[in-house]
């Protein structure tokens, strides 16, 4: 928990007065939202867009002003977590079930700061199952298509029923194994009819901050792809 907190609080240092801020989803990002709430009470003036109903509820409780997408042109800075990050800052996200909204917010942001603890930093993506958001109609056919590619999909459930995203969709968690070409995998999955989006975030991160269990936080250097 300490590693998540220090990463979140370092990321919040980049937030300035008057910014429109994207609020990600997950346990690490919750620390950032709490810290922003403290800063708002101390006089920081920001507007925020949340990537999930959970983050939205937390932000409201902490007195952070929320705005709708219709009322903004661009997000200055988004702080979000990740389930895995590789040396090129490619990400797997969606463990919390909000990948589509997170990607929409990321795409609308001038900067995306990713905050993780050291366990999320990997040399190659894929140990964490890749979430794929699909429409409920015909989801079984979509799952068979993913299975035929060798992606080993499994329907995410909650209390014995299909997990439903904030957008009313299902999630298929794919156990692909180590991923050599994340961009190709991303495009192949998203080309399937029935798929809404997947949890590979390629080229979105502007900065990755890693929290360590010794209470330190460092920026992760980016290794450019050859």
What was the pLDDT predicted at 70? 87
* Single pTM value for the model: 0.94
pLDDT at position 101 over 90? yes
Band the pLDDT of 223: cuts 50, 70, 90. Answer: confident
Predicted pLDDT at 73: 86
For position 226, what pLDDT does the model report? 42
Q: What is the pLDDT of residues 35-72, one digit of tens each?
A: 999 999 999 999 999 999 999 999 999 999 999 988 98
Q: CA–CA separation, 222 vs 11, rounded Å?
A: 17
Whether the pLDDT of residue 148 is over 90: the answer is: yes
- Which range is least confidently modeled, 67-76, 94-103, 119-128, 179-188? 67-76
pLDDT for the residue numbered 69: 86
Q: Is 216 exposed, middle or buried (0-12, 13-18, 19+ CB in 10 A)?
A: middle
Q: Which residues are catalytic?
A: 102
167 exposed, middle or buried (CB, 10 Å; 0-12, 13-18, 19+)?
A: middle
Q: Is 128 helix (H, G, I), strand (E, B) or coil?
A: coil
State the average pLDDT over residues 175-180.
95
- Place 1 in a pLDDT band, splitting at 50, 70 and 90: confident
Query: Can you tell me the mean pLDDT for 98-109?
Result: 96
- The pLDDT of residue 147 is above 80: yes
Averaged confidence pLDDT in the chain:
96
Residue 41 and residue 169: Cα distance in Å, rounded? 36
Token code pair at residue 181: 């070409």
> What confidence tens digit (pLDDT) does each residue in 191-214 have?
999 999 999 999 999 999 999 999
The reported pLDDT for the residue numbered 224 is 73
Q: What is the mean pLDDT of residues 116-132?
A: 97
* Rounded CA separation 69/16 (Å): 20
Q: What is the pLDDT of residues 127-145, one digit of tens each?
A: 999 999 999 999 999 999 9
């Amino acid at each position: 928990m300490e590693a998540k907190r220090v990463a979140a609080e370092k990321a919040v240092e980049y937030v300035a007065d008057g910014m429109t801020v994207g609020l990600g989803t997950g346990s690490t990002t919750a620390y950032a939202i709490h810290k922003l709430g403290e800063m708002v009470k101390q006089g920081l003036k920001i507007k925020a867009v949340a990537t999930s109903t959970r983050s939205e509820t937390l932000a409201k409780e902490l007195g952070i002003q929320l705005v709708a997408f219709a009322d903004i042109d661009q997000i200055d800075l988004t702080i979000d977590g990740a389930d895995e990050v590789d040396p090129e800052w490619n990400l797997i996200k969606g463990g919390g079930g909000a990948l589509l909204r997170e990607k929409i917010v990321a795409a609308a942001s001038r900067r995306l700061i990713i905050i993780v603890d050291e366990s999320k930093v990997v040399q190659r993506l894929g140990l964490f199952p890749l979430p794929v958001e699909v429409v409920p109609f015909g989801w079984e056919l979509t799952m068979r298509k993913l299975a035929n590619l060798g992606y080993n999909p499994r329907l995410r459930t909650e209390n014995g029923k299909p997990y439903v995203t904030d957008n009313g969709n299902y999630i298929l968690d794919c156990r692909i194994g180590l991923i050599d070409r994340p961009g190709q995998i991303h495009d192949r999955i998203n080309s399937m009819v029935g798929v809404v989006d997947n949890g590979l975030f390629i080229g979105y991160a502007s900065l990755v901050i890693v929290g360590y269990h010794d209470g330190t936080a460092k920026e992760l250097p980016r290794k450019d792809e050859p």
